[in-house]
Structure 1
Amino acid sequence: MSAQDLSFVHVHRPATRPGLPPLLLLHGTGGDETDLLALGEAIAPGAALLSPRGQVLERGAPRFFRRLAEGVFDEDDVRRRAGDLARFVAEARTAYGIAAPIALGYSNGANIAAAVMLLHPGTLAGAALLRAMPPLTTPPAAELDAAPVLMLSGALDPIASGAHAALLERQLRAAGAAVTLETLPASHGLTRMDLEAATRWYARLAAEGRVAAASS
């Protein structure tokens, strides 16, 4: 399958430093495939970047799955769209010759990344979930084999609350993920603290070599 045949509109930036874990960039509501490129480049300089555009439109704003109201998700659509995204990752790995990526997702993008981890274990080598909520009320049993997950929650977030973050953390831990949850003095928007925390986390994984070796 050629890059032109992939199932999502996307941007791919090839690696300039071999051996680094690639990043799958997943934007928030209203974003697109360019939104997180600068963030991905800052967090993982030289890594391959893969950034798809969500295929659901909410009043013209791209998303990765439908919701019924603020914070109320269409869980049947979550399951369908998580499967679509997992297939896209498999297509992209073949087309671009990349390892299983680490997801870097914000808000709706973080939620679909969590859904892919819980519904399609092995698709992602890990995830940095920024302002995430549980995408599924009762996720299926999964085995994530200590996949590293960073969760960055905002103490002042009116959308993805601390309770939401704690529930998702429990779900991921129950599936075997190695979760690091940090609560920042922030609201729903991203801050320099998010950049710094995610950069430290990614650098530690890259230095250990554990993710790249396991997913190549």
Structure 2
Amino acid sequence: MTDYAFAETEGAPGAPLVFTFHGTGGTEAQFHGFAREVLPEAHVISPRGDVSEHGALRFFRRKAEGLYDMADLARRTEAMIRFVSEARARTGATRVTGLGYSNGANILASAAMADPTLFTDLALLHPLIPWEPAPVPGLSRVRVLVTAGERDPICPAPLTRRLVSWLDDQDARVTTVWHPGGHEIAQTEVDQVVTFLRG
């Protein structure tokens, strides 16, 4: 494996593999137990972000709110692709789901854009992709759930809609869920994530 610290729960033979990615300031425990509850038979792997921003763990550096260090993001995206690929090979799973919130959704999306064969399903909770991605035709095979808040000050709604439009252009199978609040995860999102994971 690569150098990420991570939590892992072994699943049944042939079961799906679920990766969870925490938000800024979270840890590998943020969604690990949730994924185990929703899919008790699944393999669940939850890496810990290896960047510290004033003590808050993240998956890549940023220069300011909404302004990413793109060179660092590229390096850490490659590291995450290796981490996921190694786990896929080790478990032999054919259905591979990524669930990420905020910064975790961003590293998940970046990895899937760089290698669209990594995941069969992506659950992106409050993602922020502030750049224009190049076309990724391979995402046409991927189911994607995007959830967001209409008044999210960290992930502005217009940028979320732009991401959803881009995913539509890639022919990904996209479902979107909005709530009227901000960056918090609403119960409507949780309910939809449960439905999505159980697929």
Give the secondary-structure state (helix, strand or coil) at the position aligned to 1:103: strand
Task: Give the aligned partner of residue 3 of structure 2.
Answer: 7
Task: Give the aligned partner of residue 113 of structure 1.
Answer: 108
Task: Give the aligned partner of residue 21 of structure 1.
Answer: 16
The normalised TM-score by structure 2 is 0.91
Of 33, 37, 43, 2:32 maps to: 37
The number of residues matched between the two structures is 198
Alignment of 1:45-64 (within 5 A): 45-64=40-59
Give the secondary-structure state (helix, strand or coil) at the position aligned to 2:174: strand
Q: Which moved more, 1:33-42 or 1:93-102?
A: 93-102
Q: Which amino acid aligns with 2:8?
A: H
Shift of 1:160: 1.0
| Ranges in structure 2 where 5+ consecutive residues have no aligned partner | none
Task: Give the aligned partner of residue 75 of structure 1.
Answer: 70
Q: Which amino acid aligns with 1:72?
A: L
Task: Give the aligned partner of residue 130 of structure 1.
Answer: 125
RMSD: 1.8
Alignment of 1:104-183 (within 5 A): 104-134=99-129, 137-143=131-137, 144-183=139-178
Shift of 1:73: 1.2
Q: Which moved more, 1:108-117 or 1:165-174?
A: 165-174
Task: Supply the distance in 1 between the matched residues of 2:37 and 2:161 (Cα, whole angstroms).
Answer: 27
Distance 1:142 1:63, change over 3 A: same
Shift of 1:78: 1.6
List structure 1 segments (4+ residues) > 4 angstroms apart after TM superposition.
Answer: none
Shift of 1:99: 3.3
Task: Supply the distance in 2 between the matched residues of 1:32 and 1:92 (Cα, whole angstroms).
Answer: 19
Alpha-carbon displacement from aligned partner over 1:8-63 (angstroms, at most 9, x marks no partner): 111111114x5543211000001111111122123333221110011211112111
Task: Supply the distance in 1 between the matched residues of 2:178 and 2:150 (Cα, whole angstroms).
Answer: 6
Alpha-carbon displacement from aligned partner over 1:109-128 (angstroms, at most 9, x marks no partner): 00111111111110111210
| Ranges in structure 1 where 5+ consecutive residues have no aligned partner | 206-216
Task: Supply the distance in 2 between the matched residues of 1:100 and 1:139 (Cα, whole angstroms).
Answer: 25
Task: Supply the distance in 2 between the matched residues of 1:130 and 1:31 (Cα, whole angstroms).
Answer: 14
Shift of 1:138: 2.4
Whether the aligned pair in 1 keeps the contact of 2:16 and 2:96 (CA below 8 Å) is yes
